[in-house]
Amino acid sequence: MPQRPSEPSSRPNRGEAREALIAADRRLFAERGYKATTTREIATEAGVSHALLRYHFSSKEGLRDAVDENVLGGSSERSPRHAMRGWRAGPWPRRGARRP
């Protein structure tokens, strides 16, 4: 029996899924903002399952970190968002912090 040529799939394979998710994430975050965009919307936009998004990035924050790396050109430094954690403006102690 002759074999049929496989038809191209409209869904990305696993290798392409990561890049498709990052591209969809960039688009949706730019259009709607980080808080207003859900991981399910990102997966749908990328044409992959929500489970595959969780497999590659484990969370919305993990996906955002990958997007930040992608935008910054893959620098080995952590994203600017992570660099700012723990930073406080001014010489004042944080509210509720004990003074020495």
Contacts of 82 (CB under 8 A, 6+ apart): 65
Q: Predicted confidence band at 16 (pLDDT cuts at 50, 70, 90)?
A: confident
Q: Is residue 45 part of a domain?
A: yes
Q: Is residue 21 part of a domain?
A: yes
- Give the residue from 81, 44, 87 showing the smallest Cα distance to 62: 81
The pLDDT value recorded for residue 12 is 66
pLDDT in tens, 51-93: 999 999 999 999 999 888 888 876 545 555 555 555 455 555 5
Q: Is residue 46 part of a domain?
A: yes
CATH number of the domain within which 45 lies: 1.10.10.60
Whether this prediction's pTM lies above 0.75 is answered by: no
Query: How many domains are contained in the chain?
Result: 1
CA distance 24 to 47: 9
Q: Is residue 41 part of a domain?
A: yes
Structural domain boundaries, residue 19: 14-74
